[in-house]
Amino acid sequence: MIKITQRITASAVWDIEGTEVRLPYRKVYPEPVMRKKIEDYRSALESRTYEQDNTGLCEAFTVFGGIAFVAIGLSCREEFLRCFSYYAMQFAREWADEEKRLKSKYIGYEYVFAKMLQNEAVRIHYDFRYILDQANGGDFCQMNEDAFAEYWIPVILPLMKSGSSLAEVAKRVGDVRVSRYLMQIPAQTLAYFKSIAGSYTKRRELISLTKMNNFILGNDSRTEFAGAEPDFLKLLKQITEEETEIQRTRFIKENRKEMSLYKDVWILYERHGTGLKRLTVDFCKVNQPSFRKEIKCFLKVRFSGHIRASDRSCLSIFDAVNRICEMNGCIRYFSDIDHIDVKKLQLSLEQEMDQSKIMTMFSACRTLYRYLCSDGNDSKLPKPHSNPFESLHFVNAKKYHKITPYIPDKVIEELSDRLEELDETDRLVFQIFSETGMRAKEVAFLEEDCLETARYDGAVRLKYIPYKTLKARRCNGIGEYHRVYISAELAEKIKKQITASEILRREHTLPYIFLHQKKGYKAAMLNVEYLITKINKLIHKYEICDDSGELWNFTSRQCRKTLVVNMIENGATTMELVYQLGHLNQSTVMQYYAEVKSARLAEMNTRFFKEQFQLLLSNEQLATFSEEERRLLYVDFRLGKRRVEFGFCTRKLCDGACKSRSRSVHCANCPHLCTGMKYLPFWKKLLQAQEAQMQEIIKGYQRVEIADYEEYIEYRQEKQLLAAYRNIVETIEKSGGS
C-alpha cells in the first residue's frame, strides 16, 4: 500500500509498503499523481527496464530528488540493490578501459549513481557524494568492490594459469584488492604460488618472501603491506618457507648435475647457516670458445669435493686467457701457450696491476696446468707437455702483499664515542673483535655453548672453531675448538645474546648465537660485511681520520692486528701471542714483532720532532737514522748539544768534522741544518739585510761602470747566500701555514 500518513507544511510522510519516506508536497503533484510516480519508479526497478533504457529512473529522480530517490528505492530493497549492482558492473567495465588507478580504500558509490542517471534526454546536475546521507553507504561500497572483483578475477585467472606477474593489475586496482581477489579463488591461488616458487627452484635461484611478493604485485610493492588480506600473507609465507626447505637440500645435491660440459653458466651453492651461498661461473666470459672445455674439466674436478662460494680463482684464469689470446691470435688451446706468451702476459700486467694480483692470477693458472698435464685430464683436447707458468718465480712474494694496518689510538677513541649509534648486537660483535682478535667467520659461527668456566676464580673462556686452521689442526691431532680468556663484562653480554637467540635456534635446529630474523625476512646468519659497512658509514659521517688526516677505512682484520700490537707493546711473549691468536707455529707472530718494531721507528718521524721542538726535519734527514740513533738524536736535541745558529745540526758524528765551517756560507746552505718557526723572525732579518747588501754591491758596480759583474766571485757568493736565506724563509712559512 502507498499512501500519505502525515502532512507537515510543505512536505508529506508517505507509507510505501511499510517504509516511511518524507517527500516534498507540491500542488503540481497531488497525491494520486505522486502515487503514480512512485508506482512507476518501483515498477521500473522490478521489471529491470533500466537495462535497456534508464529514462524512467532519470524522470523519477527529477521528481523525488536525490535522497528521496534512494529512500523510495530502498522500499523495494532487493530490486534497488540489484539495479545499483548492475550499474556498478557497467562502471567497473568502463573504468577498466581507461588508464585510471584506484588509490582510495573504498570505491566511491557516487560514480555508480552518476552512471545510473546519465541520460542525453534528461540532464541531471547533482553532487552524488551526498546522495546517501540518510542511508548506509557500506552496502553500496561493498557492491562496488564485488563488481570490480567480478570483472578483474577473470582477467587475473589466465595470467595466473600462464605463471605471469599480476603487477599490471595491481597498478590499476592496488595491492590490497589483488590480495582479496586471490583469496576468493584459493585453489587457483595455491597452484599459482607453487608454480612461481617452483620456477625459482627450476632455474636454481634462491627464493625469498620479497622476491615472491615483488613478482606477483610488482617491484613497488612492500612485503606484508598494510591492509593486505591476512590469508594471502599467510599462504605466501607458507609456500616460500616450504620451497626454501626444498632448495636447501636440492641445490646442494644438484651441484654435480649443474657442472656439465654442455652448460656455459654454472650456478653452484654451499651451505651457510640457515641458508645457502651462491657461486656463479660464467664461461661466456672466456672470449675464445675452444678454451672453455678445458677450464670446465678443471673446475669440475676442483669443485668435485667441497664447493666454496668465495672461490674466485676461476675469474683470474678467464682474464689471463683473454689477455694471452689478444696478444697472440694463433692460440686455440692451452697446449699452444709457451713461456714466451706467459712472459709477455707478465710484462703487460705489470703496467696496470699490483704485483700481488699478478701472483694470484699466475698461481691459479699454474694449478690449472698441473691438472691439464696430469693423467686426470679427460678433456680429449691436445694435452700440454709442460707447465709454462712453472718457469716464473716471484722473489720476496710476501713483501708484495698489502699488510693489514692496526687502528691508531686517535681513530679508536673517536670511533668508540660513536658506536652507540649501532644496535646492541653490532656493538657486541665489535667488542668481541677488539677483545679477542677473532676472525669474522669465527665470530659469526659462535655456538650456544661457547662460554666455559676457567679454573681460575671468576675467569671465563670463549670457545670457538678457528676455521682458517681447522684442517691443519685435524691433521696434527689438535681439537677443533680453541679457547681464549675474556672479561666478565663481555661474557655477560654474550650470555644475553645466547638467551635472545634461543627461540630461533630451536626453530631451525642450529647452534649459532648470532642467528637473527627481521620482520618480513627469513632467518639469517650474522653478516659481518654489513657491520663493516655501517662502521665505515659512521667514520665518513663524523670524518674520523688517522694521523695523516686521511679518512680511516675499517676492516674486521684490523682489530686482530691492533690487539697483537697492544700485547707486544705491553710485553707479551711469543707463546702468549701464539695462544691468543690460535696459531700453530711462531712464524706469523715473528712477522708481527718485526712490523711493530718498524712502526715504533716510524713513530719518531718528522712530525714527532716538529711537535717536540718546533723544528722542521725532512724525511731525507731522518732516513739514515736507525731507531736507536733517533732516540740519541732526541736526547741531544733536548740537551742542546747540537744547537747551531738559528737551529740544530743533524750531522752524524761518524762523518767527521763539519766541512761547512770553513766556507763563507755556513749553516744556511747546509743540508744538515734543522730550523723552525720560532727562528723565522731572525731569518727574515737576515734576508732583508742580504737584499740590502746585494743592492749596495750592484750600485757600486754600476758607479764604476762594470757591466759583467755577475761573473765575479764576490757577487756570486752574496747571491748564493741570498738564495739560501730566501729558501729557508719560504720553507718555514709554508710548513707553518699548513
Note the pLDDT of residue 398. Answer: 62
For 397-428, how does the pLDDT look when each residue is reduced to its tens digit (9 = 90+)? 566 667 788 888 888 989 988 999 999 999 99
Residues 434 and 572 in one domain: yes
- Coil, strand or helix at 549: coil
Residues 436 and 577 in one domain: yes
For 36-61, how does the pLDDT look when each residue is reduced to its tens digit (9 = 90+)? 888 888 888 888 988 888 888 888 88
In the predicted structure, residue 600 carries a pLDDT above the cut 80: no
For 242-264, how does the pLDDT look when each residue is reduced to its tens digit (9 = 90+)? 999 999 999 999 999 999 999 99
Is residue 225 assigned to a domain?
yes
Residues 426 and 571 in one domain: yes
Residues 380 and 413 in one domain: no
Q: What are residue 483's DSSP bridge partners?
A: 463
Question: In this predicted model, which residue has the larger pLDDT, 613 or 512?
Answer: 512
Provide the pairing of β-strand 11-16 with 2-8.
Answer: antiparallel
Identify the residue whose cell numbers are 698435464. 373
Is residue 705 assigned to a domain?
yes
Which three cell numbers mark 189?
A: 591461488
In the predicted structure, residue 633 carries a pLDDT above the cut 80: no
In the predicted structure, residue 659 carries a pLDDT above the cut 60: yes
- Average pLDDT of the chain, as a whole number: 85
Is residue 609 assigned to a domain?
no
Domain that holds residue 639: 614-737
Note the pLDDT of residue 737. Answer: 45
Residues 625 and 586 in one domain: no
What's the CATH number where 555 sits? 1.10.443.10
Q: Once rounded to an integer, what is the mean pLDDT over residues 661-673?
A: 66
Residues 377 and 423 in one domain: no
Residues 105 and 212 in one domain: no
User: Rounded distance, CA 706 to CA 554, Å?
Assistant: 69
| 179 close to 232: Cβ distance less than 8 angstroms | yes
Q: Once rounded to an integer, what is the mean pLDDT over residues 534-562?
A: 89
Could you write out the DSSP letters of every residue in 97-134? HS-----SSS--HHHHHHHHT--SSS-----GGGTTTT
Which of the residue ranges 319-333, 663-677, 707-721 has the most confident prediction, judged by mean pLDDT? 319-333
Note the pLDDT of residue 738. Answer: 40
Of 342, 371, 400, the last residue of a domain is 400
Is residue 238 assigned to a domain?
yes
Helix (H) / strand (E) containing 692: helix 680-703
Of 359, 377, 400, the last residue of a domain is 400
Is residue 556 assigned to a domain?
yes
Q: Which amino acid is at 33?
A: V
Is residue 154 assigned to a domain?
no
Of 383, 400, 417, the last residue of a domain is 400
Neighbouring residues of 408: CB distance < 8 A, sequence distance ≥ 6: 546, 547, 552
In the predicted structure, residue 192 carries a pLDDT above the cut 60: yes
Residues 95 and 125 in one domain: yes
Mark out the alpha helices in 185-312 (DSSP H runs). Answer: 186-202, 209-217, 230-253, 255-258, 289-302
What are all long-range contacts of 225-230, with beta carbons under 8 Å and residues at least 24 apart? Answer: 225/175, 225/176, 227/105, 227/176, 228/175, 228/176, 228/179, 229/176, 229/179, 229/180, 229/182, 229/183
Residues 20 and 113 in one domain: yes
Residues 629 and 588 in one domain: no
Neighbouring residues of 272: CB distance < 8 A, sequence distance ≥ 6: 309, 525
User: Rounded distance, CA 680 to CA 646, Å?
Assistant: 9
User: Rounded distance, CA 91 to CA 77, Å?
Assistant: 21
Residues 461 and 584 in one domain: yes
Which three cell numbers mark 248?
A: 636447501
Identify the residue whose cell numbers are 566511491. 108
Residue ranges of E strands in 543-661? 643-644, 647-649
Q: Which amino acid is at 149?
A: A
Number of domains the chain is built from: 5
Query: Could you tell me the pTM of the whole model?
Result: 0.68
In the predicted structure, residue 601 carries a pLDDT above the cut 90: no
Q: What are residue 277's DSSP bridge partners?
A: 270
Is residue 156 assigned to a domain?
no
| 34 close to 27: Cβ distance less than 8 angstroms | no
Is residue 155 assigned to a domain?
no
Residues 558 and 430 in one domain: yes
Sheet with 451-453, strands from edge to edge, namely 451-453, 460-464, 482-486
